[in-house]
Amino acid sequence: MKIKSTTGKIGDWVFVIICVLISLICILPMINLLARSLSGTDYLVRHEIYLIPKGINFGAYSTVLSDPKYIRAFFYTVALTVISTVVSLFMTTICAYPLIFPQLRGRNIFNIIITITMFFNAGTIPNYLLIQKLGMLDKPIVLILPYCLSIYNMIIMRSFFYGIPDSLRESAEMDGASFLRILWSIYVPLSKPVMATLALFYAVGRWNGYSDALMYVKKPQYYPLQLLLYNILNNINSVEVATQEGFSAPGLSESLKAAIVMFSTIPILCIYPFLQKYFIHGVMVGAVKE
């Protein structure tokens, strides 16, 4: 018994050490980024900043918050993320719900077709041509509709629906409730954990997304925050762009890089604590068919 107890304790400590190391790998880069954004330019030029800021300077944040294009891109991306998340949850729910009914004709065929789309797609060029034919290029809708449904998330939602007792649905059907009424009155209220989890997935994906905007959006007024950040970080070392942006000093440009990244990262990090209690429960229950 002592051997088993000692072995169990060693295993617990190994697990704790691994978790601490993984946490440090995730946290330390953010701390370094925050320190760089708050440090003076002289210390940045000499590469003396690691985890603690030196020569506290809020000039980079002042530049970001006083520039209208950053503020406009921020609120535009917030609106885009909220709308995209709501649309994606709606599409995921209405696609997953019918697939739980045994009486649905061709249900197995639909499941096979849906699963195939997880591994095969037309490719970038056909997708671009399709979006062009639909007239969605250079419009905000191009950042919402084409990616409003994730098959992986839909399967999680469907699995969660499978876990809801059939007796609830059958009793509602006996009372004369329609399929939509059953969805709205029974499945949606009971699916808050998985919906919160998928909402986090969709929101983070849209907030961090820039590749679709890079391909489909050419008008600067429709640039989401991440694409604006991508363009600035790519061009910030150019003397011409640095002069236009008003930060030609190398140290200030490094500080501004860090400030812009923090400016675009902190909002989505603030959402996670409110959804954490649903996140673990939603993933664990939604991933298992009962």
**Residue 254's pLDDT is what?**
74
Would you place residue 200 in the very low, low, confident or very high pLDDT band (cuts 50, 70, 90)?
Answer: confident
Tell me the DSSP string of the chain: -HHHHHHHHHHHHHHHHHHHHHHHHHHHHHHHHHHHHHS-HHHHHTT--SSS--S---HHHHHHHH-HHHHHHHHHHHHHHHHHHHHHHHHHHHHHSGGG-TTSTTHHHHHHHHHHTTT----HHHHHHHHHHTT-TTSGGGGTSTTS--HHHHHHHHHHHHHS-HHHHHHHHHTT--HHHHIIIIIHHHTHHHHHHHHHHHHHHHHH--HHHHHH---GGG--HHHHHHHHHHHTTSHHHHHHHT--SHHHHHHHHHHHHHHHHHHHHHHHHHHHHHHHHHHHHHTS--
**Residue 245's pLDDT is what?**
46
275-287 per-position pLDDT tens digit: 666 666 555 554 4
Lowest mean pLDDT among 50-54, 117-121, 148-152, 270-274: 270-274
Specify the CATH architecture of the domain 58-286: Orthogonal Bundle (1.10)
For residues 205-216, average pLDDT: 88
69-78 per-position pLDDT tens digit: 888 888 999 9
For residues 124-139, average pLDDT: 88
| pLDDT above 80 for 101 | yes
245-290 per-position pLDDT tens digit: 444 455 556 777 788 788 778 877 777 777 666 666 555 554 444 4
| pLDDT above 70 for 143 | yes
**Residue 247's pLDDT is what?**
45
Whole-prediction pTM value?
0.78
Domain ranges of the chain: 1-57, 58-286
**Residue 239's pLDDT is what?**
43
